[in-house]
Amino acid sequence: MRDMSDLPQTLSAALAAKGYDALTPVQEAVTAPELAGLDLLVSAQTGSGKTVGFGLAIAPDLLDETGHFPPAATPLALVIAPTRELALQVRREFDWLYGPAGIRTASAVGGMDARTERRNMERGAHVVVATPGRLRDHIDKGVVDLSAMRAVVLDEADEMLDMGFAEDLAFILDHAPEDRRTLLFSATVPKGIAKLAQTYQKEDARRLELGSKNAQHADITYQALNVAPSDIEKAIINILRYHDPRSAIIFANTRAMVARLAAKFSNRGFATVSLSGELSQSERSHALQALRDGRARVCIATDVAARGIDLPNLELVIHADLPSNAEALLHRSGRTGRAGRKGTSVLIVPGRQRSKAQRLLKFAKLNAEWGAPPSADEVQARDEERILADPGWAEPLSEEEQAFATRLLDGRSAEQIAAAFLRLHRERHSAPEILGPVPEPGPREKRAPREAQDFGPSTWFSLSLGRKQRAEPRWLLPMICRNTGITKDAIGAIRVQYQETFVEVLSSAVPGIKAELGEAMEIEQGARLTELEGVPDFEASPKGPPSDRYGPKSEREDRPRTPRGDRDGKPRKARGAWDDKPRKPREDRGDKPRKPRGEWDDKPRKPRGEWDDKPRKPRGDGAGKPGKPGRDAPWKDKPKGDAPRKPKGEAGARDFDKGPKGGGKPPRDKGPKGGGQPPRDKGAPKKPKFKGAADPSQPMGDRKGRLKGKGDGSAKRVKPRVGKGPDARPMRKPSR
């Protein structure tokens, strides 16, 4: 390893304060003098010190001759990470590495307050650490100015492409200056990374492959443990008790599995935190901080924590679910064995997934030790070894300790004191689990057909999952075995109904189920087991959802329905036999002969126009509407607005004005005989309809002033309506 004498004094002081006495191979390679100012594509193992490495690599582009930063203004460097946790970790690394140089950093990550990030950038920053999505939003809004950018670093670039950030990365790199340095760091270099480097790096870019491709991480020990499918959680408990790590991380593939394991291990007395994508940024930060502080010793996480997160004193990684590919296996295991510390990576391999585990190890070029999880006896033996190997036995006793030891020996034997100490020690730890037999690997043998045999005395349970929740026996059986601690041999018939499922269990296994689940009898997915008395009535259980054809059942009447054939004891008439009376022929309708069409009575029909003695007025005389000329009058003879108003009560009034007969309004006083009110004088001014209305007899100027509110303050204006219906509201400006 190379010493740090050729580094700036500010960086050497920061590394020495952190405990560095020499650079790692990755840090030494990227800070070589011949690579100064060149674009780099670096691939190295996890935990090799890449974060500090690219921090040292861009130092000549950021610091002045004295090893300090200029006053903070437009950002000089940009570091992009795939996850929020990794971005915040990179910012913490830069803060202590460039602290003596006077660095000012800013972050732009999803889940944080964007307004706070904007204020920090407006104050000025030398380095911006961001995730791709949030950084693109800030660039679109003009918050981040990339015009003075000297270096861009993409950390875990392959993971960003896998997460779908290719378009965002292209957008960010297109907005950066062309003369910048572009550094790509990743554990693997797939084709997408090579294409990205070819597009956005200069022609003289260098590619560094540090560490042999076929070499296994020397500081990580890999183990593959065969377990029964129903003993996965029990095996993990025994592994944690056997190794007793200062901190450990358990990886699962789904959020539901993370939540279930976290609840299970918390109930068993482990200091546990969970980490998944459904948590807020604040909750995720608190979980990681609890691991760093030692308040929590076990972290249960999805693959969101598999990239770049550095947890000190992490000694054990457990794969509760096998990863999907070899890269995920390498990145999960890389959370331990960092910076020269030793670690262990354990794969939990159920019986039928042995071939998948072998493929993962082969593609990742790893050699694992195959075996079985530690048994309960091995865990207790390991506890005794740790007690005997504790250095406290060799330390001299103080006066207080000597006095207390004398009190303990007074009236007690040494064996009693030792046994009491061992019991106190075991009470503070979770008890180890008894594991079932592990099936031996090998080719499957053809099974002979099983003969029907008596299941034995059994008890029926009702499970609150049915066809409504898409329940199927193929996944109900392993779920019941996993949560109750029984084997499939103890389960008999499974009858799936619409809203529930009936499960038959051996009576000898019922006490174990109650002890495992407790009084609540709850299992995963919010399901609950209920013990039944005797054999359930399968016909009484609903076969499907209730019919809504006639409305909800609560709204129907409960009266018994009358059979269709029994209506008050009277037999139903046959179709076509409604009575015994013979039908009359159409020609025989009594003694009265049928009138021919058009001769309904002896009264002669009046000719058209002779309905009464009153002569009909021609339409042109305006009889129906006084004051208006008829249709036959020429247009030039028709008056224009000089006709008197139609008096009220005259001919042509509406029907409801004629009296209460027929359901109209009560009759009004029609005034003098002859109908209606006398015609109003044409020259008289029109009476205002409301107080303050405009008077048409006044000049237009005064009327306009009153309408605008400059005249009488009591004048009202028409309020235009906005919207429709009862929610319409007036739209008017406030008066000045």
Predicted confidence at residue 657, as pLDDT, reads: 47
Reported as a pLDDT band with limits 50, 70 and 90, residue 18 is: confident
Predicted confidence at residue 78, as pLDDT, reads: 94
Domain 220-382 CATH assignment equals 3.40.50.720: no
Q: What average pLDDT does the segment 575-600 reach?
A: 56
Ranges assigned E (strand) in 431-585: 458-463, 491-496, 501-506, 529-531
Characterize the bridge pairing of strands 220-227 and 369-371: parallel
Predicted confidence at residue 656, as pLDDT, reads: 46
Range in 11-20, 428-437, 441-450 the model is least confident about: 441-450
Predicted confidence at residue 647, as pLDDT, reads: 53
Range in 56-60, 129-133, 701-705 the model is least confident about: 701-705
- Indicate if the pLDDT at residue 609 is higher than 70: no
Characterize the bridge pairing of strands 343-350 and 314-319: parallel
Pick the CATH number of 9-209 from 3.40.50.300, 3.30.230.10, 3.40.50.720, 3.90.550.10: 3.40.50.300
Q: Output 693 or 7, whichever has higher pLDDT.
A: 7
Predicted confidence at residue 97, as pLDDT, reads: 92
Predicted confidence at residue 401, as pLDDT, reads: 87
Give the C-alpha separation, 698 to 702, whole Å: 7
Instruction: Fill in the amino acid letter for 27.
Output: Q
Q: What average pLDDT does the segment 617-629 reach?
A: 51
Domain 458-531 classification at class level:
alpha beta
* Reduced 3-state DSSP string for 59-99: HHHHCCCCCCCCCCCCCCEEEECCCHHHHHHHHHHHHHHCC
H-run or E-run covering 729: strand 729-730
- Indicate if the pLDDT at residue 579 is higher than 80: no
Give the C-alpha separation, 432 to 18, whole Å: 39
220: Cα within 13 Å, side-chain hemisphere:
30
Reported as a pLDDT band with limits 50, 70 and 90, residue 346 is: very high
Between the alpha carbon of residue 575 and those of residues 100, 572, 578, 599, the distances in Å are 106, 9, 7, 38
Domain boundaries, the chain: 9-209, 220-382, 458-531
Predicted confidence at residue 448, as pLDDT, reads: 62
Give the C-alpha separation, 25 to 533, whole Å: 70
- The string of pLDDT tens digits covering residues 359-403 is 999 998 899 999 999 999 999 999 888 888 888 888 888 888 889
Give the C-alpha separation, 561 to 505, whole Å: 43
Contacts 24+ apart (CB under 8 A), 267-273: 268/237, 268/430, 269/429, 269/430, 270/240, 270/297, 270/298, 270/430, 271/295, 271/296, 271/297, 271/298, 272/296, 272/297, 272/298, 272/299, 272/300, 273/298, 273/299, 273/300
In DSSP terms, which residues pair with 108 in a beta bridge?
Answer: 130
Same fold, 9-209 and 220-382: yes
Residue that has been written with the tokens 């996890």 in this structure = 46
CB 496 within 8 Å of CB 466: yes
- Exposed e or buried b for every residue in 617-646, given b needs 16+ CB within 10 A? eeeeebeeebeebeeeeeeeeeeeeeeeeb
Give the C-alpha separation, 670 to 213, whole Å: 111
Reported as a pLDDT band with limits 50, 70 and 90, residue 611 is: low
Reported as a pLDDT band with limits 50, 70 and 90, residue 3 is: low
DSSP code per residue over 188-200: ---HHHHHHHHHH
- The string of pLDDT tens digits covering residues 624-656 is 454 455 555 555 554 555 555 555 544 444 444
- Best mean pLDDT range from 188-197, 616-625, 658-667: 188-197
Query: Nearest 5 degrees, angle CA 51-CA 56-CA 61?
Result: 125
In DSSP terms, which residues pair with 182 in a beta bridge?
Answer: 152
Q: What is the pTM of this model?
A: 0.53
- The string of pLDDT tens digits covering residues 214-248 is 566 778 899 999 999 889 999 999 999 999 998 99
Give the C-alpha separation, 439 to 230, whole Å: 12
- The string of pLDDT tens digits covering residues 82-103 is 888 888 889 999 999 999 999 9
Q: Which residues neighbour 36 within 8 Å (Cβ) at sequence distance 6 or greater?
A: 60
